[in-house]
Amino acid sequence: MPDATGLELIAQELRDTLPGAVLDTLHFRGEATITVERRQAHDVLAQLKRRGYSFLASLHGVDYYPEEPRLSVHYQLLDMDAVDRICVKVRMGLEEAQIASVFDLWPGANHPEREVYDMFGIVFDDHPDLRRILMPEDYEGYPQRRDFPVGGEPVIFTYNEDKIPGWTE
């Protein structure tokens, strides 16, 4: 993990080449996080990849409800030579839930991006095959948003089966 100073150095580098891209840096529990502006995320990631963080370890979505902007995509990058990790965080509101795909940088982003689309409804531009991956094709809603009900049903036993709607006709 880069220490706090190393993180600032990386952030400064990014600020120099891509003005306005870095919104915030955070060093927490030994982990470095850079918050990045949504439209410049792809450029930042490309630059970090050239800088040595060449392995996309994880890509996941987070819903910060009730905070605003709500949705977020996290990219966990890994530098295998320096054994160094950095997290790039991109926050976005519900109505602008759209971000450039990093499929061209890492082909391995294919499934994770589809999962984020499936679970949070974040659209990845220029993704070659963006469709639902885990839920059925005709499912409506994005289950892992925090305002989506967790669902579930009462358990059927013989004594209560007639009370459960839709069970008997």
Partner 1 sequence: MEITRAKLGAPAVDGGGEEFRIQQQRARDMLRGDLTDAELEAYVEERVLATTLDKVTAWAQGNSLFPATFGLACCAIEMMSLPGARLDIGRFGFEAFRASPRQADMLILSGRVSIKMAPIVRRIYDQMLEPRWAISMGACCSSMGVFNNYAIVPADKFMPIDVHVPGCPPRPEALAHAILKLRAKVQGNPPRGWRERYEAIGTEEVVGDADRPGVNAVNVFQSGETQGA
Partner 2 sequence: MTALSDYRRREESVTYSAEPAGMGLEQEMMTVNMGPHHPSTHGVLRLILTLEGEVVRDIKPVIGYVHTGIEKTAEQKAYWKVIPVVERMDYVSYYFNAYAFCGAVEQLLEVEVPKRAQYLRVIHMELNRIVSHLIWLGTSCIDLGAIGMWWYAFREREQVLDLFEMSSGQRMHTRYFQVGGVIEDIPRGWVERVKRFTRTMRHRSEQYQALLDRNEIFLQRMRHTGVVDEQSLLGLGVTGPLLRATGNPWDLRKAAPYCSYEDFRFRIPVGTTGDNYDRYRVRHAEILESCEIIDQAIDGLPEGPFITEDRKVALPPRHELATSMEALIHHFKLVTEGFRVPPGEVYHPIESPRGELGCFVRSDGSSKPARVHMRDPSFVNLQATAAATRDTYIADLVATLAMLDPILGGVDR
Binding of partner 2 by 85 (CB under 8 A): yes
Q: Which does 91 bind (CB under 5 to 8 A by kind): partner 1, partner 2, none?
A: none
| Residue 70 burial (10 A CB sphere; 0-12, 13-18, 19+) | buried
Binding of partner 1 by 65 (CB under 8 A): no
Which residue stretch of 14-22, 35-43, 137-145, 153-161 sits at the interface with partner 2 (rule: CB under 8 A)?
Answer: 137-145
Binding of partner 2 by 30 (CB under 8 A): yes
Q: Which does 156 bind (CB under 5 to 8 A by kind): partner 2, partner 1, none?
A: partner 1
Q: Which does 19 bind (CB under 5 to 8 A by kind): partner 1, partner 2, none?
A: none
Q: Which does 129 bind (CB under 5 to 8 A by kind): partner 2, partner 1, none?
A: partner 2
Would the CA dihedral through 42, 80, 31, 127 be positive or negative?
positive
Residue pair 63/57 in contact by the 8 Å Cβ criterion: no
Beta bridge partners of 62: 72
Distance of closest approach, residue 165 Cβ to partner 1, in angstroms: 10
Distance of closest approach, residue 162 Cβ to partner 2, in angstroms: 28
The four Cα atoms 87, 52, 36, 62 give a dihedral, to 10 degrees, of -30
Of 52, 44, 91, the closest CA to residue 71 belongs to: 91
Binding of partner 1 by 139 (CB under 8 A): yes
Binding of partner 1 by 155 (CB under 8 A): yes
Percent helix, strand and coil across the chain, each rounded to 5?
A: 30, 25, 45
**Per-residue x/- track, 86-105, partner 1 (CB under 8 A):** --------------------
Structure tokens at 76: 């966990």
